[in-house]
Structure 1
Amino acid sequence: MSLTSNQRRARARQQCRVALAAHIRKSPLKTSYKNLTEPPDERLGLLVPPQHVRLHPPFEDGYAWSVLQGKEYLLDKTLGNGTVGRYEEIIEEVGSSFEAVTPQRHQPECAEHGTTSSDKPKSPEASSTSFTQIIRQLENEKQLLAVELESTRAYSTQLLRKDGEWQEKTCNLEKELQESRSSVDQLEFELRRAGEGIIAAVTILRNCQHSKEDSTSLEPDDKDP
């Protein structure tokens, strides 16, 4: 016999409560990468009956929920007002997108969102860092690195552009130098030809002068004796 929609919803809600209660029982007091394998006595260890699990527990319940940015919608309703899809998503995301922490440790996060925190003194556990806080810190660092990377890329692009400009200027200078060398070679060639022409002209002139002098010396003397 198939279940009605209300029966499916009730079953999904109960499964969600059981999953949340199990998570609260084993949720770490101070989360870090090495603490994930700590023995049970180092964990939250609250025995909350599934039917008493809440998404918005009061301070005296001994636990609170720390949720990643963007996943707050998972806890925006009470368990009694959820849908089958929402219950299934909560079961899937508990321990990865949100976790159970001590109320003291959750207070700084509440203050950031403008909610009122309890005036009760904080226990040493309050300084513990939850995995959601670690992820937020890593996301902030990632954003800073992304900004630095973009700045480095822009600077690299600028350097490449300047390098291209200098290479173009160098090519132009080399081209001008080559043209200047060609002009110098042409001038030297013309000067050599001009020099050779001058030498040839001087030689011819001298030869003509010598020939004239020889002709003059061979002419007879027309004077009477």
Structure 2
Amino acid sequence: MGTDERLAVVVEPSQVRLLPGDEDPYKWDRVEEKEHLFQKNLSDLSIRALRELIESIGDSVAASWKSPRAELAAKGIENVSTKTQKSRHPFLLTNSVSPQYPPSLDSDIGFSAKINDLQQVKNELIGERDIWKTKAEAEAAMRRDVEEASSQLKTTADELEEENRRLEIRINEMKLLLEQSRLNTMQYRGVVNTILRMVQGLKRNVPQGSQKEIMRDNDDNC
């Protein structure tokens, strides 16, 4: 069997497994760098891993027989090809590094199917990118709103702090004025009391007749 010779077995897409069972006639040959792609079932792969797998087929990943073809023929494996020619997405196992698709119409269908699969993966990746882009833009807008709100709150807090400082200064000034007024009142009261005592002393020192004369002079002056 040459390096480009086909194994002539077509497998339904639903029967293609990354973890082949005992009943599967094929196995996966791959380089060590692609081993991580074969740790899960095909349906469990992420879009990124699925795309990597598709791009690796024929390069660093290929399917091959588990046992010699004579043994497979004895088990009737060759008949599988005639039963699956109508498969929409045929997958042909090969022992070469480049997986081959059935010839003629089936080859066109297989190639178109692979192109469609790649386009679907591309569209899914674009959709996923757009989703993350939308999320990133929303988060960026939210971050800007939070920063603007924080800046406004800081400005308001600074203004309130400045107003509070001015109020404290005004209150202290009022306290000083009140204290000065209290001291002035006490001083004026002392002066008034002193004057009253002096008047009372003068009254006691002036004779009674002189007091009447003084009062009469005051009346005449009025």
Give yes or no for the alignment of 1:221 onto 2:209: no
Change (3 A) 1:45 1:22: farther
1:3-32 Cα deviation digits (max 9, x unpaired)? xxxxxxxxxxxx9xx555416x13434366
Change (3 A) 1:104 1:27: closer
Aligned-residue Cα RMSD (Å) equals 3.9
Change (3 A) 1:216 1:36: closer
Change (3 A) 1:218 1:36: closer
Report the Cα offset of residue 134 of structure 1.
3.6
> 2: distance between equivalents of 1:134 and 1:32?
17
Counterpart of 2:105 in structure 1 is 103
Give yes or no for the alignment of 1:22 onto 2:22: no
Counterpart of 1:138 in structure 2 is 121
Kindly indicate whether the alpha-carbon contact (under 8 Å) linking 2:10 and 2:81 is maintained by their aligned counterparts in 1: yes
Change (3 A) 1:44 1:109: same
Give yes or no for the alignment of 1:170 onto 2:153: yes
Letter in structure 2 aligned against 1:221: V
Counterpart of 1:157 in structure 2 is 140
Kindly indicate whether the alpha-carbon contact (under 8 Å) linking 1:28 and 1:42 is maintained by their aligned counterparts in 2: no
Number of equivalences:
147
1:109-134 Cα deviation digits (max 9, x unpaired)? 86xxxxxxxxxxxxxxxxxxx55544
Asked which structure has the greater CA Rg, the reply is 2
Counterpart of 1:122 in structure 2 is none
Higher RCO (CA < 8 A, seq sep 6+): 2
Q: Which runs of 5+ in 1 are unaligned?
A: 1-14, 47-61, 67-90, 111-129
Higher strand fraction (1 or 2): 2
Report the Cα offset of residue 184 of structure 1.
1.7
TM-score, normalising length: structure 2: 0.52
Change (3 A) 1:184 1:35: closer
Report the Cα offset of residue 163 of structure 1.
1.1
> 1: distance between equivalents of 2:199 and 2:180?
29
Change (3 A) 1:22 1:32: same
Give yes or no for the alignment of 1:184 onto 2:167: yes
Counterpart of 2:191 in structure 1 is 208
Counterpart secondary structure, 1:26: strand
Kindly indicate whether the alpha-carbon contact (under 8 Å) linking 1:29 and 1:42 is maintained by their aligned counterparts in 2: no
Change (3 A) 1:20 1:44: farther
Report the Cα offset of residue 195 of structure 1.
0.6
Kindly indicate whether the alpha-carbon contact (under 8 Å) linking 2:9 and 2:80 is maintained by their aligned counterparts in 1: yes
